């Protein structure tokens, strides 16, 4: 393991069919005023809302609702949430939904009592909150982002055409998260498979860095193999508990900091994907799948050994009679085959991107230094063009 790291993950997870029974226990730890945040109404259709409201009422809580969090939550909506949280001096924020709802809840929790401009402070500057923040609890209904056990909060600033992730640090991870795989059964297929690809992408973003022998990489390979196996079961039978529960657990470990330990990490697929999202409002996982092939082909020549390892350890590519580059490329083809099987977006045109939008998307892409090949702006344009 290269480098120094600190690992601290304070989120308490309740996992399984009975996980919701622990909500009351957790609610007892907080004051009476609870802000309930949710999305566009799926929780009202599938009955999760009724279960949550009953528990809140049994626990004697005063509930302040903030519904209507959209996929890819916006800064305008965040400001609205801050007014509700601060105006009612809430003791706890309970997020019931997918990554968008949980990200937004963390954003409100850290911004509501902040006197300055939260967008500038937390999303542009990347500062950690130093003042009062509100505890967040989560009931997860959609799998993919890992937001249930991390400090991430991705917000879209529609005025600036930017979609940016803040990381609020371990003091502001959800205090508890309730993970019942059955709650994810009603997720529409498009969202479900986008979530599967998001998980894969989170693992690859951390895996494709460094040249050392690193335990985090072995953990990442195990997670990718489990995801590939279970996702192929889940697309045929979305109510297969074993598959959906394995995927839920994999998603959490894919982005709860563990497999990033001792790794410099990459994250350029997310940077480009988020810029695409800012200009199209497309589903997050699909923005990643659409640009991945072109991106990985770009960096492969600088990391043939790692891509070969990926091919062999994740996809079981047979090395006999092939040179390293051929094996590495076969790994990428196996990834592509799997993407096609689960049915994610394979190019940007599917997401409404046109050639005349490429320059603006490139302008919105935050370029970060990566382990194998740091892209130039021209490289970003080429990846986008090759992904059309
Ligand atoms: O809004 P409702 O009506 O609830 O419908 C949602 C939404 O339309 C629906 N849904 C969720 N659970 C459901 C369900 N429909 C039926 N039954 C259920 N049980 O699914 C749709 C998508 O939900 P959303 O929360 O947007 O999806 P996801 O979990 O993929 O979250 C995406 C957001 O997370 C950010 C993304 O950028 C995007 O904004 N990310 C957050 C990260 C983090 N915190 O670390 C990292 C990720 O890379 C990602 O960037
Ligand atoms: Zn993601």
User: What tens digit of pLDDT does each residue of 266-301 get?
Assistant: 999 999 999 999 999 999 999 999 999 999 999 999
> How does residue 313 score in pLDDT terms, banded at 50, 70 and 90?
very high
Nearest CA owner, ligand 1 atom 29: 99
Compute the average pLDDT of residues 381-387: 98
Task: Say what the pTM is.
Answer: 0.98
Report how far Cα 30 is from the mean position of its chain's Cα atoms.
27
Q: Of the candidates 172, 125, 122, 124, which has an alpha carbon nearest to the alpha carbon of residue 147?
A: 172
Q: Is 155 in the pocket of ligand 1 (CB under 6 A)?
A: no
Compute the average pLDDT of residues 329-338: 98
Q: Is 107 in the pocket of ligand 1 (CB under 6 A)?
A: no
Cβ contact 78:155 at 8 Å:
yes
Q: Is 100 in the pocket of ligand 1 (CB under 6 A)?
A: yes
User: Percent of the chain at pLDDT above 70?
Assistant: 100
Cα 77 to ligand 2 centre (Å): 21
Q: Of the candidates 87, 162, 149, 151, which has an alpha carbon nearest to the alpha carbon of residue 119?
A: 162
**Probe target for ligand 1 pocket from 97, 150, 251, with the most ligand atoms within 8 Å of CB:** 97
Compute the average pLDDT of residues 311-338: 98
Q: Is 98 in the pocket of ligand 1 (CB under 6 A)?
A: yes
Q: Of the candidates 138, 149, 237, which has an alpha carbon nearest to the alpha carbon of residue 192?
A: 237
Cα 327 to ligand 2 centre (Å): 27
Q: Is 216 in the pocket of ligand 1 (CB under 6 A)?
A: no
Q: Is 136 in the pocket of ligand 1 (CB under 6 A)?
A: no
Beta strand pairing status for 162-167 and 152-157? antiparallel
The pLDDT, as a whole number, for residue 166 is 97
**Probe target for ligand 1 pocket from 69, 96, 154, with the most ligand atoms within 8 Å of CB:** 154
Cα 145 to ligand 1 centre (Å): 8
User: What tens digit of pLDDT does each residue of 156-201 get?
Assistant: 999 999 999 999 999 999 999 999 999 999 999 999 999 999 999 9
Distance between CA atoms of residues 126 and 375, nearest Å? 21
Compute the average pLDDT of residues 230-242: 98
Cα 352 to ligand 1 centre (Å): 20
Cα 110 to ligand 1 centre (Å): 20
Domains parsed from the chain with CATH numbers: 12-183 (3.40.50.1970), 190-386 (1.20.1090.10)
Distance between CA atoms of residues 29 and 197, nearest Å? 36
Beta strands across the sheet bearing 62-66: 12-15, 176-179, 136-140, 92-97, 33-38, 62-66
Q: Is 206 in the pocket of ligand 1 (CB under 6 A)?
A: no
User: What tens digit of pLDDT does each residue of 8-32 get?
Assistant: 999 999 999 999 999 999 999 999 9
- Locate the ligand 1 atom nearest the alpha carbon of residue 285 and give its number: 30
> How does residue 86 score in pLDDT terms, banded at 50, 70 and 90?
very high
- Residues whose CB is under 5 A from ligand 2 (ion)? 198
User: What tens digit of pLDDT does each residue of 115-158 get?
Assistant: 999 999 999 999 999 999 999 999 999 999 999 999 999 999 99
Tell me the ligand closest to 255's alpha carbon. Answer: 1
Nearest CA owner, ligand 1 atom 9: 187
Instruction: Output the average pLDDT for the chain.
Output: 97
The pLDDT, as a whole number, for residue 3 is 78
Compute the average pLDDT of residues 219-240: 98
The pLDDT, as a whole number, for residue 111 is 98
Q: Is 46 in the pocket of ligand 1 (CB under 6 A)?
A: yes
Tokens of 314: 């994740």
The pLDDT, as a whole number, for residue 2 is 77
Nearest CA owner, ligand 1 atom 38: 72
Q: Is the pLDDT of residue 1 over 90?
A: no
Cα 283 to ligand 1 centre (Å): 8
> How does residue 82 score in pLDDT terms, banded at 50, 70 and 90?
very high
Beta pairing partners, 228 = none
Q: Of the candidates 311, 309, 372, 299, which has an alpha carbon nearest to the alpha carbon of residue 337?
A: 311
Tokens of 334: 């196996």
Distance between CA atoms of residues 30 and 160, nearest Å? 37
Cα 258 to ligand 1 centre (Å): 22
Q: Is the pLDDT of residue 263 over 80?
A: yes
Positive or negative CA dihedral for 249, 145, 138, 232? negative
HEC string for the chain:
CCCCCCCCCCCEEEECCCHHHHHHHHHCCCCCEEEEEECCCHHHHCCHHHHHHHHHHHCCCEEEEECCCCCCCEHHHHHHHHHHHHHCCCCEEEEEECHHHHHHHHHHHHHCCCCCCHHHHHHHCCCCCCCCCCCEEEEECCCCCCHHHCCEEEEEECCCCEEEEEECCHHHCCCEEEECHHHHCCCCHHHHHHHHHHHHHHHHHHHCCCCCCCHHHHHHHHHHHHHHHHHHHHHHCCCCHHHHHHHHHHHHHHCCCHHHCCCCCCCHHHHHHHHHHHHHCCCHHHHHHHHHHHHHHHHHHHCHHHHHHHHHHHHCCCCCCCCHHHHHHHHHHHHHHHHHHHCCCCCCHHHCCCHHHHHHHHHHCCCCCCCCCCCCHHHHHHHHHHCC
CA angle 87, 90, 94 (to 5 degrees): 125
Intra-chain end-to-end CA distance of the chain, in Å: 38
Q: Which residues contact 86 (CB under 8 A, 6 or more apart)?
A: 112, 113
Q: Is 169 in the pocket of ligand 1 (CB under 6 A)?
A: no
Q: Is 129 in the pocket of ligand 1 (CB under 6 A)?
A: no
Cα 319 to ligand 2 centre (Å): 31
Q: Is 147 in the pocket of ligand 1 (CB under 6 A)?
A: yes
The pLDDT, as a whole number, for residue 223 is 98
Positive or negative CA dihedral for 149, 147, 170, 221? positive
User: What tens digit of pLDDT does each residue of 87-114 get?
Assistant: 999 999 999 999 999 999 999 999 999 9
């Amino acid at each position: 393991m290269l480098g120094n790291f600190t690992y601290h993950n304070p989120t308490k997870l309740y996992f399984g069919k009975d996980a919701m029974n622990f909500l009351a226990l957790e609610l007892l730890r907080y004051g009476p005023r609870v802000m309930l945040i949710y999305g566009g109404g799926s929780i009202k259709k599938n009955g999760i809302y009724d279960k949550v409201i009953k528990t809140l009422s049994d626990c004697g809580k005063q509930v302040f609702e903030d519904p209507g969090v959209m996929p890819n939550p916006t800064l305008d909506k965040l400001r609205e949430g801050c007014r509700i949280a601060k105006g009612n001096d809430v003791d706890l924020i309970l997020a019931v939904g997918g990554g968008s709802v949980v990200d937004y809840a963390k954003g409100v929790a850290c911004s509501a009592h902040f006197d300055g401009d939260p967008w500038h402070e937390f999303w542009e500057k990347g500062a950690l909150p130093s003042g009062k923040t509100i505890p967040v609890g989560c009931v997860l209904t959609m799998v993919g982002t890992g937001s249930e056990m991390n400090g991430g909060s991705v917000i879209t600033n529609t005025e600036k055409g930017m979609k940016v992730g803040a990381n609020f640090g371990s003091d502001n991870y959800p205090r508890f998260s309730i993970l019942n795989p059955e709650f994810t059964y009603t997720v529409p297929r498009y969202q479900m498979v986008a979530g599967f690809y998001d998980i894969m992408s989170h693992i690859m973003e951390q895996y494709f860095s460094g040249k050392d022998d690193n335990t985090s990489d072995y953990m990442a390979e195990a997670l990718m193999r489990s995801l590939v196996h279970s996702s192929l079961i889940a697309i045929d039978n979305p109510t297969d508990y074993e598959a959906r529960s394995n995927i839920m657990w994999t998603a959490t470990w894919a982005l709860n900091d563990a497999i990033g330990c001792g790794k410099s990490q990459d994250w350029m697929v997310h940077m480009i994907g988020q810029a695409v999202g800012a200009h199209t409002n497309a589903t997050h996982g699909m923005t990643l799948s659409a640009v991945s092939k072109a991106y990985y082909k770009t960096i492969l020549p600088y990391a043939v050994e790692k891509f070969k390892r990926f091919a062999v350890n994740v996809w079981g590519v047979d090395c006999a009679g092939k040179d390293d580059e051929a094996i590495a490329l076969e790994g990428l083809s196996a990834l592509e085959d799997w993407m096609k099987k689960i049915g994610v977006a394979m190019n940007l045109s599917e997401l409404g991107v046109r050639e005349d939008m490429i320059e603006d998307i490139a302008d919105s892409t935050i370029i970060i230094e990566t382990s194998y090949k740091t892209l130039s702006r021209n490289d970003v344009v080429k990846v986008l063009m090759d992904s059309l």
